Structure 1
Amino acid sequence: MSEVKELFSITQQMVHKFRRSNHSDREELIKVFENFVENRDRLMKDIDPPYTDEEKQLGQEIIKLDEELKVLVIKYLGSIQQDISVMSKKKLSNKKYINPYASLYGIDGSYIDKRN
């Protein structure tokens, strides 16, 4: 199989994985994506001109799939960042619930009279 066909195939598989992904298999999807990037880099280095008409058409399809993959990855990373934000807010809320007076400073119980 030529490098262009293989690149098209793995890009297509990656797009399908991101389309079907849910939040329960994040770690697995990230590992698969890292592997995809490594394979893609290797294949991109091995692709040399001249290109056949079929390879040119597959190249155009790869570009379209790549754009779609970028959008899916950005959306997926956004959902991860949103979950991290929610978790940090929950953590802060729990700390405030446990010790509501921790944010107040100067609670030493003293009173200064200024009438002199």
Structure 2
Amino acid sequence: MSVREVWQLTRELLEATALPWPAEEREARLVQVDELLRRREEWLRELRPPYSEEEQRLGREIIAWNEEIERRLHRVGDEIRNDLRMAGAKRQANACYVHPYEQPLSIDGMFYDKRR
């Protein structure tokens, strides 16, 4: 029964996307999620109606789980974007300390003494 396989893969995907995702595990978990999504996509292509009562019940569970999986993946994506933004800011701040005179001078706050 193909619906049962899709249901099982969706359940595994729900478990794989469980939060939190520590930064050191992120890459391995993304690879795992990608593989599960690929396998599930193959099974979804094979689904053909009509569906039995049990298959319809499993389908409703799959839809509910998909919404939760999508929310979790959006949250992980936001965390990754935030980490990248923070890394860029740290890199820029570090460059200011390493090469302090390479940055353009700021005109704000300059004082010109008009006395001679």
TM-score by length of 1: 0.84
Contact between 2:18 and 2:72, CA under 8 Å: does it hold in 1? yes
- Looking at structure 2, the residues matched to 98 and 33 of structure 1 have their Cα atoms a distance apart, in angstroms, of 40
Give deviations 1:24-82, integer Å, cap 9, x for gaps.
21111111111112111111111101100000010000000000000000001111111
Question: TM-score, normalised to structure 2's length?
Answer: 0.84
Aligned with 1:19: secondary structure?
Answer: coil
Q: What code does the residue aligned with 1:12 have?
A: R
Say which SS state the counterpart of residue 22 (structure 1) adopts.
Answer: coil
Tell me, yes or no, if structure 1 residue 4 matches structure 2 residue 11: no
SS in 1 for 2:96: helix
Identity %: 24
Aligned length: 104
Assess if the C-alpha contact under 8 Å between 2:14 and 2:69 holds in 1: yes
Say which is worse superposed, 43-52 or 10-19, in terms of deviation: 10-19
Tell me how far 1:17 sits from its aligned partner: 1.8
Equivalents in 2 of 1:20, 1:5: separation in Å? Answer: 25
Where in structure 2 are there 5+ consecutive unaligned residues?
106-116
Q: Which structure dedicates a bigger proportion of its chain to helix?
A: 1
| One-letter code aligned to 1:82 | N
Identify the residue that residue 54 of structure 1 maps to in structure 2: 54
Deviation of 1:3 (Å)? 1.1
Compute the displacement of 1:22 (Å): 2.6
Query: Distance in 2 between the 1:60 and 1:94 partners?
Result: 51
Gap regions ≥5 residues in structure 1: 106-116
Shift of 1:20: 4.7
SS at match of 2:50: coil
Q: 1:81 matched to which residue of 2?
A: 81
Distance in 2 between the 1:99 and 1:5 partners?
A: 60
Q: Aligned-pair RMSD on alpha carbons?
A: 1.3
Alignment of 1:65-76 (within 5 A): 65-76=65-76
Structure 1 counterpart of 2:54, one-letter code: E
Q: Which residue of 2 aligns with 1:93?
A: 93
